[in-house]
Amino acid sequence: MKKINNTKKLFLWTFLWLVSFAVLVNAPGELWENQIISIIAAIINFILIITMLYSNKNVFDEYDEFQKKIQLEAIAISLFLNIFIGLLWVGVYQSGLINSQPKIHLLVVFTCLTYVISAAVISKKYK
């Protein structure tokens, strides 16, 4: 029961962070011109990042050793690929091999998909 509650809290904090990030990125110039409001939005976003991290730790602490192993392997794969695919993208763009400028939102989507697929494949491997 506690695990479900912590998972719901993590979902809530993640959703709130996502909304705050969208506001931080898209609202300046659209909803306001004041830089003070943008600074406040950035501070709120940072606080939500810390809260989301703490909430994620609470969920992770409830995992058994098998679940932790799956999660750690999936996180390691997605982090590794995120860093090196991101660097490769920047490198081939700067060298003029492609015209597609690196965009962080695409890298975030790539990371999320890599994590989900890695977790599914690793989980299936051990079953």
CB atoms near residue 13 (< 10 Å): 19
Whether residue 74 sits in one domain with residue 29: no
| pLDDT of 96 over the 70 cut | yes
**Domains: count for the chain:** 2
Whether residue 101 sits in one domain with residue 123: yes
Quote the mean pLDDT of the chain: 89
What residues contact 122, with CB distance under 8 A and at least 6 apart?
70, 73, 74
For the entire predicted model, the pTM comes to 0.74
Q: Which domain holds residue 87?
A: 64-127
pLDDT in tens, 41-78: 899 999 999 999 999 999 999 999 999 999 999 999 99
Last residue of a domain, one of 33, 62, 91: 62
pLDDT at 3: 62
Helix (H) or strand (E) holding 114: helix 104-126
Residue 6 Cα to chain centre, angstroms: 18
Helices (H), 62-103: 65-94
How far apart (Å, rounded) are the C-alpha atoms in residues 96 and 103?
A: 16
pLDDT at 126: 82
Whether residue 44 sits in one domain with residue 87: no
Whether residue 49 sits in one domain with residue 71: no
Whether residue 72 sits in one domain with residue 58: no
Question: Would you call 123 exposed, middle or buried from its count of C-beta atoms within 10 A (0-12, 13-18, 19+)?
Answer: middle
How far apart (Å, rounded) are the C-alpha atoms in residues 124 and 57?
A: 24
